[in-house]
């Protein structure tokens, strides 16, 4: 199906998410849509798939005919289906029931016939999905497969995929790409939204790049990576050089620390974290690293052992004592734990400063906010409420709230969901703080490349077991992956970090 | 346009018209003329200086309670126990005055100390709800409700027990205090300019606390995200307790005004439901201090104006309560509709 977008505008308040976008995608094409977070990719796709409506004046033309799409149901009716980043399915239900949902008509669906269709489609793409299995037992990749055949079965001729390669395994990715190529050969139009350059380069027939709501250009293979990056960010960005490990004074010392919650027990961990050093905590979600980092912040009390900060024993003291001693903790859930929705950036900066008298000096607060907004490159005004900021800007705001001076920064998933430019920016700021205050950093990440790139040493967590510190310079993603999965623990030797 | 202040005002006006319409339907259903009823409420509240003074008498405690509730609402707390905090303020004031009646202390000082005792009484009662919440994990709504019942029982016990009138105990309350122990009133009117001044000063202080102080900003942070406020370094449970203490002190002050400026004694229903009414006003003004004065005045006028209804029209005076309740419901409803509308637009 030929897809044409003409003059699509969309504004939210004063900011334009899409600005005069014109894009034409011929039938049988895999179209890549590239752009950093907040570039307007998702908005454009939501407009095409009916989740939101464009401002008046634009047109969506399918096979030469202008169409009006007011809802996702309208979209699938004209043949447009969207696969969301988080699959929109119903986990406690069976695969086949999920497949049936969204189908109109009929009080009593003909399950037999539907099961046949399901089997036929699954076989066609070599998907091994059991129709009687429950959806919560499936992996993200399998849920994607289910969603793809469901949309095809509903009659989709245009398939939109939003960041489909996040959270799936390498083999699932290979299978997904093969499926998409097969579909394109059958005349389907595939729109592939991503900020991962290698995925886009290896799959797409043509690529459109969005920046700040505008279409900055389209290219065809062979792709020039640095040219694409430049289009995405408007400038050239490179990852920083890895820096060698420091050996300053110990900042945080753990002596035989034991931790417990209802599920996990961590026993006798010893660690010395030195000034200027960065330690990454790797492990599957819920392997004990969350409890560990919170114990280092004073939020979880150890059941045994001692925690020393610059030689001072802080065992059993409250988080606020830790904070006064220069420990800052940035939680993963920014709007739930890190920031206060409803309060402005100025309010946050004022709150984080030491009070100066009883009354707030509004003008000074605003000046401070303007300074920090500039220094941390936050897209927002002093009066913006934090929930109106994008994820990357919320993260920058959290960094801007770090106190000074600092001795230890604890971070949970500091760059989750952020584009590469924000990641580089945030780490450069963190490293700056490390040098300035001779602080140390302890961070959790599920991105192993991030861990290897930015840490000096790595601790791996596996169901409460903690590895000895591993030198990041001499290990690989593959080795870490094995340990995270519970393999090779004998050699790495238990919990004497 | 619908986003701004004007749009908000437009929607609130719609809510007001809807509420009036709804109450009119009720009046028509019982065979009364809505227009006549509204006219009676109007003349009954602002028809004469004497009547307007009555409105102000009702305005004072309502404003004090509303001001206090703005503090607890900012901290994210539903201080239902405010009703009992008024009662305890009145009891503590009465207790203090009883100590001073036969002493040689100058009356002005006695009144001043009794009012302080009332504020302390309200604050202590509020601290019970606060401690139940912070240390016992009891939701402040349940704790407050329970304490309200205890406060009513305590009043009745005092009036019919230790503080009963010479010879006869009655629902009319304790022995009235001599006139010198009352806040001075305007000639021929029941309103005390002192009480009015105190109430206006209190709401101004609350406004300043919430708008311009570190304390107010921290309180709001605690109210909007307890967890994040804690991580930002704010001592959260202490701030919850402070807000209870402030609200309790203001509710206690309202109780003290009821004793020293209105009834000159302790009576069984000394709080007159001002606590619950204050909760409604606070919700109606969307927790913004700046609207507290006009809305409280309006509610007080409804209260006093509707006293005319049973006299002139043989209607029940609870109509004002119906109108107030319906108004709050419609404002909340219309605000919800506006939010939905804005999201679409």
Chain B residues with CB under 8 Å of A352 CB are 232-233
Chain A residues close to B233, C-beta within 8 Å: 320, 323, 352
Show residues of chain B in contact with A319, CB under 8 Å. 230-231
Q: For residues B248 and B250, what is the distance between their CA atoms, to the nearest angstrom? A: 5
Each residue's pLDDT tens digit, A83-121: 876 666 666 788 888 777 766 656 666 778 888 888 888
pLDDT given at position A480: 80
- In a domain, residue A80? The reply is yes
The answer to whether B220 contacts chain A (CB < 8 Å) is yes
Q: In the structure, what pLDDT confidence band is assigned to residue A206 with cuts at 50, 70 and 90?
A: very high
pLDDT recorded at residue B1: 46
Provide the strand spans (E) within chain B: none
Average pLDDT, chain A: 84
Question: Which candidate in A319, A339, A351 is best for mutational testing of the B interface (most B CBs within 10 A)?
Answer: A351
The answer to whether position A284 is within a domain reads yes
* A337–chain B nearest CA distance, Å: 4
What local confidence, expressed as pLDDT, does residue B122 receive? Answer: 97
Å from B209 to nearest chain A CA? 8
pLDDT of res. A271: 92
Say which of A319, A341, A347 has its CB closest to residue B217.
A347
| Residues of chain A contacting B234 with CB distance shorter than 8 Å | 351
- Helix residue ranges, H only, B30-139: 34-46, 49-74, 82-100, 107-136
Inter-chain touch A359–B212, beta carbons under 8 Å:
yes
Measured distance CA(B100)–CA(B180) in Å, rounded: 11
pLDDT surpasses 70 at A200: yes
Mean pLDDT score, B258-270: 93
Q: Assess B227–A contact: CB distance below 8 Å, yes or no.
A: yes
Residue B310 touches chain A, beta carbons under 8 Å: no
Could you read off the pLDDT of A380-422 as tens digits, one per residue?
Answer: 899 999 988 877 788 889 989 988 888 999 999 888 777 777 8
Q: Are residues A137 and A56 in the same domain?
A: yes
Q: Please report the pLDDT score of residue A473 as a whole number.
A: 83
Location of structure tokens 């028809």: B47
Q: Are the Cβ atoms of A320 and B233 closer than 8 angstroms?
A: yes
> Do A162 and A305 reside in the same domain of the chain?
no
Query: What range defines the domain where residue A305 resides?
Result: 250-326+403-492
Boundary residue ending a domain (A233, A259, A285): A233
Q: Check if B231 contacts A (Cβ < 8 Å).
A: yes
* pLDDT tops 80 at residue A138: no
Is B243:B73 a contact under the CB 8 Å cutoff? no
With CA atoms as reference, report the closest residue to B39 among B268, B322, B315, B289: B315
Number of independent structural domains in chain A: 2
Q: In the structure encoding, which two tokens stand for residue B272, read together? A: 């007159």
Interface check for B235 against chain A (CB to CB < 8 A): the answer is yes
pLDDT tens column, B120-177:
999 999 999 999 999 998 999 999 999 999 999 999 999 998 998 887 777 888 989 9
Q: Which of B1, B213, B217, B286 to mutate to test the interface with A (most CBs of A within 10 A)?
A: B217
Q: Within this chain, do residues A228 and A118 fall inside the same structural domain, yes or no? A: yes
Q: Which residues of B touch A341 (CB under 8 A)?
A: 224-225
**Contact at CB, A338 and B221, closer than 8 angstroms:** no
What CATH number corresponds to the domain at position A479?
Answer: 3.40.50.300
Given a cut of 90, whether residue A42 has pLDDT beyond it is no
Domain B55-313 matching CATH 2.30.29: the answer reads: no
Mutation target to probe the A interface, by most A beta carbons within 10 A, among B210, B233, B342 is B233
Do A82 and A113 share a domain, yes or no? yes
Residue A127, domain member (yes or no): yes
Binding-face residues of A in 392-421 toward B, CB within 8 A: 401
Whose CA is closest to B223, among B242, B239, B205? B239
- The pLDDT tens digits of the residues spanning B86-130 come to 999 999 999 999 999 888 889 999 999 999 999 999 999 999 999
Q: In whole angstroms, what is the distance from residue A144 CA to residue A146 CA?
A: 5
Provide the 10 A C-beta neighbour count for residue A108: 5
Q: Which residues of A455-482 are buried (b: 16+ CB within 10 A; e: fewer)?
A: bbbbbbbbebbbbebbebeebeeebbee
Domain positions in chain B are: 1-32+315-345, 55-313
Task: Measure in Å the smallest separation between the Cα of A353 and chain B Cα atoms.
Answer: 10
Instruction: Please write the tens of the pLDDT for every residue from B172-223.
Output: 889 899 988 999 888 888 889 999 999 999 999 999 999 889 999 999 999 9
A357 is a domain residue: no
A115 and A89 part of one domain: yes
Cα–Cα distance measured from residue A211 to residue A232, given in angstroms and rounded to the nearest whole number: 6
| Percentage of chain A exceeding pLDDT 90 | 30
Report the alpha-carbon distance of residue A278 to residue A281 in Å, rounded: 10
- HSE-CB at A207 with a 13 A cutoff on CA atoms is 28
Do residues A254 and A222 share a domain? Answer: no
Shared domain for A184 and A257, answered yes or no, is no
Per-position DSSP letters for A167-226, written without gaps between them: T--HHHHHHHHHHHHHHHHTT-EEEEEES-HHHHHHH-SEEEEEETTEEEEEE-SSP-HH
Confidence of residue A245 (pLDDT cuts 50, 70, 90): low
Regarding whether A279 and A154 lie in a shared domain, the answer is: no
Q: Residue B224: which of A340, A358, A359 has the nearest Cβ?
A: A340
pLDDT score, position A133: 83
Size of interface A-B (CB pairs under 8 A): 60
Domain end (from A166, A198, A233): A233
Let me know if residue A356 belongs to a domain. Answer: no
CA distances from A287 to A138, A261, A262, A464 (A): 20, 12, 13, 6
Domain boundary among A183, A208, A233: A233
Chain B CB within 8 Å of residue A350 CB: yes
Cβ neighbours for A454, distance < 8 A, ≥ 6 positions apart:
A278, A280, A427, A431, A443
Residue in chain A lying closest to B232 (CA): A352
Quote the pLDDT of residue A241: 52
Closest CA to B312 of B23, B43, B22: B43
pLDDT for A184: 92
Weakest-pLDDT range from A239-253, B2-16, B222-236: A239-253
- In the prediction, which pLDDT does A495 show? 44
Q: Which two tokens stand for residue B258?
A: 């009821």
Write out pLDDT tens, residues A424-462.
Answer: 888 988 888 888 888 899 999 877 888 888 999 999 988
| Mean pLDDT computed over every residue of chain B | 90
**Predicted ipTM of the assembly:** 0.84
Banded model confidence at residue B3, pLDDT cuts 50, 70, 90: low
- A180 or A111, which is more confident? A180
Query: How distant is the Cα of B142 from the closest Cα of chain A, in angstroms?
Result: 26
pLDDT of res. A107: 64
Judging contacts by C-beta atoms under 8 Å, the chain A residues touching residue B212 are 359-360, 362
**Residue A355 in contact with partner chain B when CB distance is under 8 A:** yes
**pLDDT digit string, tens, across residues A477-492:** 777 877 877 777 765 5
CB contact under 8 A, B225 and A347: no
pLDDT at residue A213 tops 90: no
């Amino acid at each position: 199906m030929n897809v044409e977008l003409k003059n699509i505008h969309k504004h939210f308040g004063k900011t334009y998410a899409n600005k005069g976008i014109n894009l034409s995608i011929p039938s049988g094409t895999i179209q890549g849509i590239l752009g950093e977070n907040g570039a307007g990719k998702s908005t454009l796709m939501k407009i095409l798939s009916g989740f939101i409506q464009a401002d008046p004046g634009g047109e969506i033309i399918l096979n030469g005919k202008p169409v009006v799409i007011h809802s996702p149901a309208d979209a699938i009716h004209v043949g447009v289906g969207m696969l969301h980043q988080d699959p929109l399915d119903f986990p406690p239900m069976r695969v086949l029931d999920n497949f049936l949902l969204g189908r109109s008509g009929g009080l009593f669906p003909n399950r037999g016939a539907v099961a046949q269709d399901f089997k036929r489609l699954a076989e066609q793409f070599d998907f091994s999905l059991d129709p009687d299995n429950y959806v919560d037992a499936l992996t993200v990749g399998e849920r994607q497969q289910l969603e793809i055949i469901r949309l095809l079965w509903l009659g989709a001729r245009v398939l939109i995929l939003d960041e489909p390669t996040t959270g799936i395994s390498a083999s699932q990715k290979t299978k997904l790409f093969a499926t998409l190529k097969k579909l394109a050969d059958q005349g389907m139009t595939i729109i592939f939204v991503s900020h991962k350059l290698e995925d886009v380069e290896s799959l797409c027939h043509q690529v459109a790049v969005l920046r700040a709501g505008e279409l900055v250009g389209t290219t065809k293979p062979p792709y020039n990576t640095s040219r694409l990056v430049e289009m995405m960010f408007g400038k050239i960005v490179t990852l920083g050089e890895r820096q060698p490990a420091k050996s300053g004074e110990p900042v945080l010392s753990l002596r035989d620390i034991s931790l417990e919650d209802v599920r996990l027990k961590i026993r006798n961990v010893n660690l010395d974290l030195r000034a200027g050093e960065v330690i990454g905590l790797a492990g599957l979600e819920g392997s004990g690293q969350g409890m560990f980092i919170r114990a280092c912040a004073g939020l979880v009390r150890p059941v045994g052992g001692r925690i020393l900060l610059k030689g001072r024993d802080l065992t059993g003291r409250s988080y606020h004592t830790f904070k006064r001693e220069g420990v800052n903790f940035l939680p993963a859930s920014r709007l739930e734990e890190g920031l206060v929705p409803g309060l402005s950036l100025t309010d946050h900066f004022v709150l984080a400063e030491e009070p100066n008298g009883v009354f707030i000096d509004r003008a000074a607060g605003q000046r401070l906010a303007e300074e920090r907004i500039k220094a941390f490159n936050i897209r927002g005004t002093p009066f913006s409420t934090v929930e109106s900021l994008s994820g990357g800007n919320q993260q920058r705001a959290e960094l801007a709230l770090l106190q000074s001076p600092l001795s230890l920064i604890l971070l949970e998933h500091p760059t989750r969901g952020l584009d590469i430019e924000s990641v580089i920016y945030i780490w450069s700021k963190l490293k700056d703080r490390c040098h300035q205050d001779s602080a140390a950093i302890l961070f959790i990440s599920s991105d192993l490349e991030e861990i290897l790139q930015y840490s000096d040493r790595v601790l791996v967590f596996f169901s409460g077991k903690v590895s000895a510190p591993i030198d990041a310079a001499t290990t690989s993603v593959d080795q870490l992956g094995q340990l995270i999965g519970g393999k090779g623990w004998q050699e790495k030797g238990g919990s004497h970090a | 346009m619908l986003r701004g202040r004007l749009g908000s005002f437009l929607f609130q006006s719609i809510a007001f018209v809807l509420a009036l319409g709804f109450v009119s339907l009720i009046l028509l259903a019982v065979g009364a003329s809505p227009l006549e009823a509204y006219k009676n409420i109007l003349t009954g509240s602002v028809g004469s200086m004497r009547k307007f003074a009555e409105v102000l008498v009702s305005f004072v405690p309502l404003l004090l309670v509303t001001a206090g509730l703005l503090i607890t609402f900012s901290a994210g707390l539903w201080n239902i126990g405010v009703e009992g905090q008024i009662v305890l303020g009145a009891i503590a004031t009465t207790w203090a005055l009883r100590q001073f009646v036969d002493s040689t202390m100058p009356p002005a000082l006695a009144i001043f100390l009794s009012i302080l005792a009332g504020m302390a009484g309200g604050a202590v009662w509020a601290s019970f709800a606060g401690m139940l919440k912070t240390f016992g994990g009891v939701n402040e709504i349940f704790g407050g409700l329970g304490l309200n019942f205890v406060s009513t029982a305590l009043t009745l016990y005092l009036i019919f027990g230790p503080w009963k009138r010479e010879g006869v105990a009655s629902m009319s309350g304790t022995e009235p205090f001599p006139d010198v122990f009352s806040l001075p009133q305007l000639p021929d009117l029941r309103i005390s300019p002192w009480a009015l001044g105190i109430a206006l000063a209190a709401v101004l202080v609350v406004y300043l606390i919430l708008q311009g102080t570190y304390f107010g900003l921290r309180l709001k942070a605690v109210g909007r995200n307890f967890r994040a406020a804690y991580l930002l370094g704010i001592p959260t449970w202490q701030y919850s307790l402070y807000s209870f203490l402030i609200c309790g002190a203001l509710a206690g002050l309202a109780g003290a005004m009821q004793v020293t400026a209105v009834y000159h004694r302790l009576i069984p229903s000394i709080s007159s439901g001002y606590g619950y009414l204050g909760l409604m006003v606070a919700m109606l003004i969307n927790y913004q201090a700046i609207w507290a004065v006009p809305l409280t005045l309006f509610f007080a006028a409804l209260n006093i104006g509707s006293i005319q209804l049973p006299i002139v029209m043989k209607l029940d005076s609870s109509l004002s309560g119906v109108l107030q309740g319906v108004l709050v419901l419609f404002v909340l409803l219309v605000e919800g509709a506006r939010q939905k509308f804005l999201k679409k637009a």
